A and B are shown apart, each in its own frame.
Chain A
Amino acid sequence: MSRLRLAFESFRRPRFGHIRTRLVVLYTGLFAIAMLSIGLIGQVMIENHAQSSVRTELVTSSSVFDRLWALRAKSLADSADVMARDFGFRAAVASGDQATILSALANLRQRVGVPYAFVVTQDGDVTGDGAATLRRDVAAIPYKLAAGRNSAVVTSGQDVYRMVVSPILAPTEIGWVVFAVRLDEGEMQSLERLSAIPLTATILRHDDGGHWMPATGGLAVPAGAIDRFMAADGSHEMHPGLLGLSSGRAIALARPLASTGTAPDAMLLLTFPLIKALAPFRSLQIGIVLSGLAGLLLVLWGSHRLAGSISRPIAALDDAARALEDGSRAEVTVIGHDEIGRLAVSFNRMSAGIVERENRIAHLAFHDTLTGLPNRVLFRQQLDAALGRAVRVGEQVAVMCLDLDGFKLVNDSFGHPSGDALLRVVGEVLSNLASDGMVARLSGDEFAIVVGISVDPDRPRALAQSILDALREPVVANGHSILTGLSIGISVAPGDGHEPSTLLKNADLALYRAKQDGRGVFRFFEPGLDAAARQRRQMELDLREALHNGQFRLDYQPIFDLKADRICGFEALMRWEHPRRGLVSPAEFIPVAEESGLIVAMGEWAMHEACREAIRWPDPLRVAVNVSAIQFRNSGFADIVVQALARSGLDPHRLEIEITESIFLEGSGPTLDLLHKLHALGCRIALDDFGTGYSSLSYLRSFPFDKIKIDRSFVINVADDVGAAAIVRAIVDLAGALDMETTAEGVEDSEQLAALRSQGCSSIQGFLFSRPLTTEGVARLLKDQRRDVMPTVSAPVQRLIPPPAPIELPPIRAIGR
């Protein structure tokens, strides 16, 4: 079964490489089949027609011969009768008068033109001239003939005779006159001459073996052929058949010649060669063949032309489609208005569309839709190519990563359309400045430039500087004048790496450094940056562990109310006791915590811890907790505060949340909502590090802060720097005008304290009064306070409690971008 299927499947239709060939083969094949069929049918019809006409002729001829012989026999019989009725002749026969009989027979032979005539008497005596064999056979004839018959064809020796018998009546039969006509070649020829067609008449007789054989003429018949012909359907008396002669096939008719008995002794065979029968039609056959060939050539030519006209445009379409497949595009020349023409038109449209779409898709795949600059994918490719080229020619390549400073703020302040417009403008600026390099937009507000260093080794630095200079001025985007900054990190191949990914990573590290170094600057990658990055990653892991294992604790630095001259609260400061590294500076781990987002969990813990600690303090001592901008961005922050208050049972008024101006960088709307929400709870809000950042007075107007904390940088020089003192005074006056308290940080000596007192500062914080204390320290301090051993500025705490090694521990501050 499967083998059969295999065999079937192995039989395939021929496969054509060209439509033209297929069409030509198809049409020519069909025509050839049609012509062949017509030819075959014509041939069969011609043969049939030729044969049937010959058959008809043969049958007709044989009938004619029969009639002829019948007439002949009758005339012979009549002649014999005339003689047999003659009384003298009868008397001669009756009396056995041989001489008289012989002369009468001679007379008769001459009269009727018959070679042999005999008289046979009742006794079987034969009178007449002839061979002994013939005489013997003649003597038997009258007795063998059936009643009512007067002639028979019999063989005598090697010859065949037609014998006509006439009785001699006196009045009964006393004998017979017998004529014998030898059916020889001459007889046959005279018969043939009577026929309308040039047939061949042959007498057949039995040979010694009982097989039919020709007795006359030169008809060459293979042995047994006539027997087979006779046996084919019994008799071919009236239905001519085909007989195989030595000279080829012939149409033949065999008429049995009636003998004395039922079985004939001889046959008359009429033959006509098939070749001769077909000869008149030869020209017709040749004509059919020639016209068929001519038609075939015509069809071959025509179908070739037609197929060409069909397949040329299709081949052109095929080529064009292949070209399209290979990525190039070829137009197809349109010929005609038929389907193919229309197909060509639509193909051209389609291919144009495909190419256009491909280009667009390719562009989309490799370009940024907003700025039209190459995207990260294309940038990587270009960087790859540039690196390859640089390696070949031994040049350097610089990769610059650029990041807009405070882009989120732009989006929040002016809306996304303006942000998008700004990105477009920045893209244009970069493209214009870095015309010798490749500018790409990697993500939101992150750009990158690849620039070769072939002529000027200072090119990266110069380019970075020119970019910074160009963006120092406000940029007009979407009708807004936007002041935006840019930080740039630069890595140079091959020094900073050979791989695109390495170079990009290093440029990113340099960018990070630039951001850290205050933004609006560019930094080149240094190997140390990588180490620092690794350290940051390690620190991040350590921080997670610390959060998990409870390695954090809070220390509390007292805040001294100058007016009431006593402690009014504590600022909670996060401390990290690393099992190996010992005490880690907040300046080190807070930025890492902010970057990694761990600050949220850490801040939550600090909020809960501070509230839990503060509830043990006597009312109204407050606890101040620093909150990073990252925490503020978290919408759940208000809930955290509420939970911390609820769990500890602390009065919200005793919680002071310290924020920096950086929380407003991300947009002031939601931030202000959150601040108002916290305020509504009853929490106090303090603005920390005032004077270091933007110090925008609008922030002070936008929210009714409870306190402004003056940064230590002003406090340090407040006693001996007029400028610093003026700033402190201005801040204090401003806070007073806005009904806000002020706390000066980092007060270290009595001169500073004096200056601050004179300027009307509400409260102070610093080593002069007390460094940050552990919970036990706070408990002791509060116990002393109850025992009225109140620490005062003149008798600060550190005198009572021996101080540890002084470490500069800045408070937690949000360092955001």
Chain B
Amino acid sequence: MTKWIALLGLSLMATAATAGNVQVQVRGADGAPVADAVVTVSAHAAGRITFPWPSVVKQQNITFDPHVLIVPVGASVSFPNMDNVRHHVYSFSKPKKFELKLYGHEEARTVVFDKPGVVAIGCNIHDQMSGFIVVVDTPYAAKTDASGRVTIANVPAGNATLTVWSAAMRAPGNQLAQPVTITPAGLSKVVSTP
């Protein structure tokens, strides 16, 4: 198992003219595709970061839905309760510690995530409920599908850091970071997680 330590501050000025699609497949230690893994390419982009999915984490059927939610830094995430039981949503994660004390059906609470990082959310009533809100400061982030694949479009060419996070990953911070060089043709890579 090789651990890559992310080199912070290594950034590249990328132009739209030279941008490619980054295709990553994440596999577990057993070789099986890993779904709900968050792949991030550290590349700056001008303007506000937006993602094509809502910043909502529902509590439905005593689970958090979605299980993993990628939001940009500063995003306000609402936690609507769709269940008939009440939930006590909390997080002790460093990027964002919060506590939404018992609230019932159709109630929604919002929490602003102002620091990048992974926030693990749980329910004090229901131990089995767990979810993750990945707060990113880059538009180049996406979740792997059931086949463990993800495609991030229009990533500027150049040297960057490729970070893969997965709740199941047995690594500090549950993530792997590795330097990659993105050519204009893009990058296609298989990442095996520990």
When the two chains form their complex, are residues A169 and B92 in contact, meaning their CB atoms are under 8 A apart?
no
Question: Complex formed: what's the CA distance from A171 to B129 in Å?
Answer: 7
Residue A171 contacts which of B97, B123, B170, B172 (CB distance < 8 angstroms)? B123
When the two chains form their complex, are residues A171 and B167 in contact, meaning their CB atoms are under 8 A apart?
no
The reply to whether the CB of B21 lies closer than 8 angstroms to some CB of chain A is no
Residue of A nearest to B120 (CB): A172
When the two chains form their complex, are residues A94 and B127 in contact, meaning their CB atoms are under 8 A apart?
no
Residue of B nearest to A87 (CB): B124
A94-B92, A170-B120, A171-B131 provided; 17 other pairs, C-beta below 8 A? A85-B127, A87-B90, A87-B124, A93-B92, A95-B92, A95-B97, A122-B172, A169-B122, A169-B127, A170-B91, A170-B122, A171-B120, A171-B127, A171-B129, A171-B130, A172-B120, A174-B120
Contacts of B120 in A (CB 8 A): 170-172, 174
The reply to whether the CB of B141 lies closer than 8 angstroms to some CB of chain A is no
Given known A-B contacts A171-B127, A171-B129, A172-B167, A91 and B122 have beta carbons under 8 A apart: no
Residue B130 contacts which of A85, A122, A147, A172 (CB distance < 8 angstroms)? A172
The reply to whether the CB of B121 lies closer than 8 angstroms to some CB of chain A is yes
Residue of B nearest to A85 (CB): B127
Question: Complex formed: what's the CA distance from A169 to B131 in Å?
Answer: 12
Please report which residues of chain A, range 159-177, place their CB below 8 angstroms from some CB of chain B when the two chains form the complex: 169-172, 174
Contacts of A87 in B (CB 8 A): 90, 124
Contact with B along A82-100 (1 / 0, CB 8 A): 0001010011011100000
Contact with B along A143-187 (1 / 0, CB 8 A): 000010000000000000000000001111010000000000000
Whole-angstrom distance between the Cβ of B115 and the nearest chain A Cβ: 15
Question: Complex formed: what's the CA distance from A516 to B117 in Å?
Answer: 174
Contacts of B172 in A (CB 8 A): 122
What are 5 A-B contacts with C-beta separation under 8 Å? A87-B124, A91-B92, A170-B122, A172-B132, A174-B120
Whole-angstrom distance between the Cβ of A95 and the nearest chain B Cβ: 7
Contacts of B130 in A (CB 8 A): 169, 171-172
Contact with B along A234-260 (1 / 0, CB 8 A): 000000000000000000000000000
Residue A172 contacts which of B122, B124, B128, B170 (CB distance < 8 angstroms)? B122
Whole-angstrom distance between the Cβ of A815 and the nearest chain B Cβ: 152
Residue of A nearest to B125 (CB): A87
Contacts of B170 in A (CB 8 A): 147
Question: Complex formed: what's the CA distance from A94 to B123 in Å?
Answer: 15
Contacts of A170 in B (CB 8 A): 90-92, 120, 122
Contacts of B129 in A (CB 8 A): 171
Residue of B nearest to A173 (CB): B120
Please report which residues of chain B, range 96-125, place their CB below 8 angstroms from some CB of chain A when the two chains form the complex: 97, 120-124
Residue of A nearest to B129 (CB): A171
Residue of A nearest to B92 (CB): A94
Question: Complex formed: what's the CA distance from A87 to B167 in Å?
Answer: 22
Whole-angstrom distance between the Cβ of A593 and the nearest chain B Cβ: 148
Contacts of A174 in B (CB 8 A): 92, 120
Contacts of A93 in B (CB 8 A): 92
Q: Interface size of B by Cβ–Cβ distance < 8 Å?
A: 18
Q: Among A87, A94, A171, which residue has the most Cβ atoms of chain B within 10 A?
A: A171
Whole-angstrom distance between the Cβ of A687 and the nearest chain B Cβ: 161
Interface residues on A, range: 10 to 19
Residue of A nearest to B131 (CB): A171
Contact with A along B68-92 (1 / 0, CB 8 A): 0000000000000000000000111
Contacts of B91 in A (CB 8 A): 170
Residue of A nearest to B172 (CB): A122
Contacts of A172 in B (CB 8 A): 120, 122, 130, 132, 167
Please report which residues of chain A, range 16-33, place their CB below 8 angstroms from some CB of chain B when the two chains form the complex: none
Contacts of A95 in B (CB 8 A): 92, 97
Question: Complex formed: what's the CA distance from A85 to B130 in Å?
Answer: 14
Whole-angstrom distance between the Cβ of B37 and the nearest chain A Cβ: 15
Residue of B nearest to A124 (CB): B172
Contact with A along B165-193 (1 / 0, CB 8 A): 00100101000000000000000000000
Interchain residue pairs A-B with the least CB separation, the first 3: A171-B122, A94-B92, A171-B130
Question: Complex formed: what's the CA distance from A169 to B122 in Å?
Answer: 9
Whole-angstrom distance between the Cβ of A88 and the nearest chain B Cβ: 10
Question: Complex formed: what's the CA distance from A435 to B131 in Å?
Answer: 157
Residue of B nearest to A123 (CB): B172
Contacts of A90 in B (CB 8 A): 92
Question: Complex formed: what's the CA distance from A796 to B132 in Å?
Answer: 202
Whole-angstrom distance between the Cβ of B104 and the nearest chain A Cβ: 19
Question: Complex formed: what's the CA distance from A90 to B123 in Å?
Answer: 12
Question: Complex formed: what's the CA distance from A172 to B170 in Å?
Answer: 12
Q: Among A93, A95, A170, which residue has the most Cβ atoms of chain B within 10 A?
A: A170
Contacts of A85 in B (CB 8 A): 127
Contacts of B167 in A (CB 8 A): 172
Whole-angstrom distance between the Cβ of A684 and the nearest chain B Cβ: 162
Residue of B nearest to A93 (CB): B92
Whole-angstrom distance between the Cβ of B179 and the nearest chain A Cβ: 25
Residue of A nearest to B122 (CB): A171
Please report which residues of chain B, range 136-169, place their CB below 8 angstroms from some CB of chain A when the two chains form the complex: 167
Question: Complex formed: what's the CA distance from A93 to B121 in Å?
Answer: 16
Contacts of B122 in A (CB 8 A): 169-172
Question: Complex formed: what's the CA distance from A170 to B96 in Å?
Answer: 13
Residue of B nearest to A172 (CB): B120
Whole-angstrom distance between the Cβ of A77 and the nearest chain B Cβ: 15
Residue of B nearest to A86 (CB): B124
Contact with B along A645-672 (1 / 0, CB 8 A): 0000000000000000000000000000
Question: Complex formed: what's the CA distance from A174 to B121 in Å?
Answer: 12
Given known A-B contacts A171-B130, A172-B130, A174-B92, A94 and B124 have beta carbons under 8 A apart: no
Whole-angstrom distance between the Cβ of B190 and the nearest chain A Cβ: 23
Question: Complex formed: what's the CA distance from A169 to B128 in Å?
Answer: 10
Residue of A nearest to B118 (CB): A172
Contact with B along A755-776 (1 / 0, CB 8 A): 0000000000000000000000
Whole-angstrom distance between the Cβ of A89 and the nearest chain B Cβ: 11
Whole-angstrom distance between the Cβ of A156 and the nearest chain B Cβ: 24
Contacts of B128 in A (CB 8 A): 171
Residue of A nearest to B132 (CB): A172
Question: Complex formed: what's the CA distance from A2 to B123 in Å?
Answer: 101
When the two chains form their complex, are residues B97 and A94 in contact, meaning their CB atoms are under 8 A apart?
yes
Question: Complex formed: what's the CA distance from A122 to B120 in Å?
Answer: 13
Q: Among A95, A122, A147, A172, which residue has the most Cβ atoms of chain B within 10 A?
A: A172
Question: Complex formed: what's the CA distance from A85 to B122 in Å?
Answer: 12
Question: Complex formed: what's the CA distance from A217 to B74 in Å?
Answer: 63
Whole-angstrom distance between the Cβ of B105 and the nearest chain A Cβ: 21
Whole-angstrom distance between the Cβ of B31 and the nearest chain A Cβ: 17
Residue of A nearest to B94 (CB): A94
Question: Complex formed: what's the CA distance from A169 to B167 in Å?
Answer: 13
Whole-angstrom distance between the Cβ of A83 and the nearest chain B Cβ: 14
Whole-angstrom distance between the Cβ of A572 and the nearest chain B Cβ: 160
Question: Complex formed: what's the CA distance from A90 to B127 in Å?
Answer: 12
Question: Complex formed: what's the CA distance from A171 to B91 in Å?
Answer: 8
Whole-angstrom distance between the Cβ of B131 and the nearest chain A Cβ: 8
Whole-angstrom distance between the Cβ of B40 and the nearest chain A Cβ: 19
Question: Complex formed: what's the CA distance from A90 to B97 in Å?
Answer: 12
Residue of B nearest to A171 (CB): B122
Whole-angstrom distance between the Cβ of B165 and the nearest chain A Cβ: 12
Question: Complex formed: what's the CA distance from A679 to B121 in Å?
Answer: 180
Contacts of A171 in B (CB 8 A): 120-123, 127-131
Contact with B along A61-94 (1 / 0, CB 8 A): 0000000000000000000000001010011011
Question: Complex formed: what's the CA distance from A147 to B129 in Å?
Answer: 20
Contacts of A147 in B (CB 8 A): 170
Residue of B nearest to A81 (CB): B127
Residue of A nearest to B99 (CB): A91
Residue of A nearest to B126 (CB): A171
Contacts of A94 in B (CB 8 A): 92, 97
Contacts of B123 in A (CB 8 A): 171
Whole-angstrom distance between the Cβ of B153 and the nearest chain A Cβ: 31
Question: Complex formed: what's the CA distance from A93 to B93 in Å?
Answer: 11
Please report which residues of chain A, range 83-139, place their CB below 8 angstroms from some CB of chain B when the two chains form the complex: 85, 87, 90-91, 93-95, 122
Question: Complex formed: what's the CA distance from A172 to B122 in Å?
Answer: 8
